[in-house]
Structure 1
Amino acid sequence: MYCRILRVPRMNSSTLLFVKNTEQTQTKIQKENQRRRKLVKVMWVSVLALAAAILLLTVAKIPVAEGVTCSPMQLASRAAAMTSSSPPSEACCAKLREQQPCLCGYMRNPLLRQYVSSPNARKVSNSCKIASPNC
């Protein structure tokens, strides 16, 4: 077995100063990286908070039909106003407003379309001040 002896260079004051400066630079770089990571976290939290706020504002403006039972039979008693030129009663308008979220479904049904999209049905909607649905 042979042992090999390595020769270590002697460190003078300029070498030690270089090592010290290198350590300080590495410490500064590590601190800067930590600061950047914190900033990135803060930025992402801000972005997510803004997205959540926008989502809440958007959802708050979406009209939701609350407990409406879509039944064309509920409009059957209003058929006289829709098939003739007689003006609708206030009860008829109230029932029509209640069934307004269902009108698109009625328009898609071939059996009901002729009643819901007739000119008289449009007159009833206009006199009840109900906007025609865009389906």
Structure 2
Amino acid sequence: MHKFSFVSLCVMALAAVVLFSGETRMAEAVTCDVSELSPCMAAIMSPKPPSATCCSKLKEQKPCFCQYLKNPTIKQFVDTPKAKRIASTCGVEYPQC
């Protein structure tokens, strides 16, 4: 169970990193919560492509990605080739923070 929680955190962090590309949303405030990226877990844990919900959550959390990358606990999971693949599949550039 502990391993599953750790994997879940990794997946969420990865999804967050993948989502952030540089665009900012001016009209809406976003609460930065890496757990919002949990719909991306299936894509992180398997070779399946990300779901529409995953891509939507990545786009929603995009303003938070640099914050997630600055957190060493989250960064080690989101700064991976798989996270970059998911972001690319969702049409989100990998962030340059």
Q: TM-score range by the shorter chain?
A: 0.5 to 0.7
Question: Are residues 105 and 65 of structure 1, via their aligned partners in 2, closer, same or farther at CA, if it must alter by over 3 Å?
Answer: farther
Higher relative contact order (CA 8 A, sep 6+): 2
CA contact (8 A) 1:85 1:120 kept: no
Partners of 1:65 and 1:131 in 2: CA distance: 21
Deviation at 1:133, TM superposition (A): 1.0
CA contact (8 A) 2:50 2:86 kept: yes
Residue among 45, 62, 84 paired with 1:100: 62
CA contact (8 A) 1:75 1:95 kept: yes
Q: What's the CA shift string for 1:17-61, capped at 9, x where partnerless?
A: xxxxxxxxxxxxxxxxxxxxxxxxxxxxxxxxxxxxxxxxxxxxx
Tell me which residue corresponds to 2:42. Answer: 80
Partners of 1:132 and 1:67 in 2: CA distance: 21
Residue aligned with 2:32, SS: coil
Tell me which residue corresponds to 1:124. Answer: 86
In angstroms, what is the RMSD of aligned CA positions? 1.7
Gaps of 5+ in 1: 1-61
Identity within the alignment, %: 42
Question: Are residues 109 and 93 of structure 1, via their aligned partners in 2, closer, same or farther at CA, if it must alter by over 3 Å?
Answer: same
TM-score, scaled relative to structure 1: 0.50
- Equivalent pairs, count: 74
TM-score, scaled relative to structure 2: 0.68
Tell me which residue corresponds to 2:32. Answer: 70
